[in-house]
Amino acid sequence: MVDNWTLRKRPARLERRIDFDNYELIREFLDLTAELSEQEDYYPDMNFGPRHVSMTIHVNEGCEQLDESQVRFAEHVNAIAPTNKISTPVGGEYSVEKS
């Protein structure tokens, strides 16, 4: 569906874990994601540690499938995520992001 994201079916959602070299890069990514959230009026569930950010994009309440705006949000996250880093979808296989 969207590169570097894991699609879960029950409940429907997209999940992704992004690894970083240091905490400063995480802060920059979180700031960019906050701006994106305000622009798109969508606020994913996120948590982070000293070297990673995990993000979940849930379906809208009362819906069973992701809609276009949620997929677009995931694509925008891909665009601002660090390039050429090893990234792990939450509970998934390793994949390498390409710039």
Which of 8-22, 35-49, 55-69, 76-90 is predicted with the least confidence, judged by mean pLDDT?
76-90
What is the set of domains in the chain, with CATH numbers? 6-91 (3.30.1360.20)
What are 20-66's pLDDT values in tens digits? 999 999 999 999 999 999 999 999 999 999 999 999 999 988 888 99
- Assess contact for 78 and 14: CB atoms under 8 A: no
pTM: 0.79
45: which strand partners?
56
Q: Is residue 18 over pLDDT 50?
A: yes
- Assess contact for 67 and 59: CB atoms under 8 A: yes
Q: Is residue 96 over pLDDT 70?
A: no
Structure-block tokens of residue 64: 């069973």
